[in-house]
Amino acid sequence: MGRMTMIETTMATGKTKDLLDKTQAQLGRIPNLYKAMANSSATLEGYLNFRSALSSGELIPQLREQIALLTASLNVCGYCVSAHVFRGQKVGLTMEELMLNRDSQSSNDKTAAALGFVKALIQKHGAIDDSDFKSIKNAGWADSEVGEMVAHVALNTLSNYFNHVALPDLDFPRVEATQEMKS
């Protein structure tokens, strides 16, 4: 049982109900993490708006999920690791690729460079050095894409940290946050 109340659409009113209804329409369900966020309509709205803005950015859905999975792995967020393995498979990533991504690796060199940059960004708390930036640029990533990578780390760190506080029940197939995944 989680630490925070899970706000169901049947108990929600006003803006919170509108946000949960919109989430239900978009995703076909309301993940428990969002139900916990719904305790504050400002938090849920901010998260959903940030997520929506980034979903129309330059990064492809697969890379967005790979960044989310790596961020969750580094933040040891079991709920989010499970959610992003699930979502990663839905956008066409293989379990083998997802296992690589959790260790900031990829079968694609350009993606591996992006994940290496994301890992450095997280481990250095944003204070990357010139060699980190040069490496991502040498891999062919544009400044706009690098900016979106930073934003995706921020978005996913928010959900990871919120999960650590709320501890919602897992409503995705379980994947251990600190152990290798099985095919």
Q: What is the 3-state secondary structure (H, E, C) of the chain?
A: CCCCCCCCCCCCCHHHHHHHHHHHHHHCCCCHHHHHHCCCHHHHHHHHHHHHHHHCCCCCHHHHHHHHHHHHHHCCCHHHHHHHHHHHHHCCCCHHHHHHHCCCCCCCHHHHHHHHHHHHHHHCCCCCCHHHHHHHHHCCCCHHHHHHHHHHHHHHHHHHHHHHHHCCCCCCCCCCCCCCCCC
CATH number for position 115: 1.20.1290.10
Same domain? For 49 and 86 the reply is no
Based on the fold, state whether residues 37 and 126 are members of the same structural domain.
no
Task: Looking at the structure, tell me whether residues 114 and 41 fall in a common domain.
Answer: no
| Statement to judge: residues 46 and 81 lie in one domain | no
Looking at the fold, whether 69 and 153 belong to one and the same domain comes out as yes
State whether 44 and 115 are in the same domain: no
Do 91 and 110 sit in the same domain of this protein?
yes
157 lies in some domain? yes
Average of per-residue pLDDT across 156-178:
93
Q: Are residues 49 and 70 in the same domain?
A: no
Predicted confidence at residue 98, as pLDDT, reads: 97
Q: How confident is the model at residue 176 (pLDDT cuts 50, 70, 90)?
A: confident
- Confirm whether 5 is domain-assigned: no
Query: Confidence class of residue 183 from pLDDT cuts 50, 70 and 90?
Result: very low
Domain that holds residue 152: 61-165
Give yes or no: residues 23 and 94 share one domain. Answer: no
Q: How many domains, the chain? A: 2
Looking at the fold, whether 83 and 161 belong to one and the same domain comes out as: yes
**What mean pLDDT value characterizes the chain?**
95
pLDDT at 177 over 90: no
Task: Name every residue whose Cβ is closer than 8 Å to that of residue 29 and which is 6 or more positions away in sequence.
Answer: none
pLDDT for residue 173: 85
Look up the pTM and report it.
0.93
Which tokens in the block code for residue 173? 């197939």
Confidence of residue 178 (pLDDT cuts 50, 70, 90): low
Q: Is residue 181 in a domain? A: no
